[in-house]
Amino acid sequence: VPNDIDNYIVFKSKLYKRDNIVRMPLEKKLSIIEYDKKATVKLNIFPDDAIIKVVIDKYFIQTLIDPYQLDRIQFTEPILKIYVHSNQNLQLVGTLEIDLNEYFKTEKYEKDISSILNETDVTNLVFKTNRCFEKYAYEILKKLDTVDRNLINTDYHIEVYKKNNQLLIHNNIKYWDELEDIISYKFIISFFNKNRNYLEYYIPFVLQQFEGNSHIIVNVPSTVNLLNTKIHINSNKLKIKYEPDWFLFFG
């Protein structure tokens, strides 16, 4: 057994080191997708706009691979098929086909379902799939566009400032319920050298660290040079900026 066993995953009775490949078995039988608000694979249905959006929980998927290789993610079962039926006559009225390898390049999938809604009412829809992930769910929503209230008066949830060998990580979050689905997720702020695109330093943190605090301070080793760096965070939902000048924060 390897000493770093947490960096390995079992798939089809074999041990694999976590890399960029999501190894998940595909069930042969079809399962009905239940109505719920949270899931690994979530179908958001907007009947007023005749649109269905598929949202896949990237944070769960990252636990199955080496998170630093998310930008090269590949799936052993790359095609996710969801069959849409009407519960009035069990007739197949449509099929969603999502290429997971392509989905994670944009994290977007949406489909016009006006032809499906011409066949049956949205409340009569039944979704089935060959399960591969932990949980599937669908939800009928009214508004297509949702606004994160934290970003009404600012462009960023998190601002990072540098002074000497310290980083101040300041949060602008007032409405924590907007981020409740990622409140315990382990974020990683990575600092890359602008010229060489080389990882100079990284900081792991969770949003819970900000409870009761407007900011946290991180001491950086004196051997690390962050002057000519750009940052990246492993989330599209959390907006972040980096200013290599502490004075901009304190004024």
User: Hey, what CATH class is 149-250 in?
Assistant: mainly beta
Residues 6+ apart with CB under 8 A from 13: none
pLDDT in tens, the chain (251 residues): 667 777 888 888 888 888 999 998 899 999 999 998 889 999 999 998 899 999 998 888 888 888 888 888 999 999 999 999 999 888 899 999 999 999 988 888 999 999 999 989 998 999 999 999 889 999 998 776 667 888 878 889 999 998 888 899 999 998 888 888 888 888 999 999 888 778 999 999 999 998 888 899 999 998 998 888 889 898 888 999 998 766 555 44
For the stretch 144-149, contacts whose Cβ atoms lie closer than 8 Å and that sit 24 or more positions apart, written own/partner, are: 144/46, 144/48, 144/49, 144/51, 148/175, 148/178, 149/174, 149/175, 149/178
Instruction: Please report, for the chain, the start and end positions of each structural domain, with discontinuous segments joined by +.
Output: 5-140, 149-250
Q: Return the structure tokens found at 78.
A: 């790359």
Ordered DSSP codes for 169-212: EEE----GGGGGGGTT--EEEEEEETTT--EEEEEEE-GGGGTT
Global confidence as pTM = 0.60
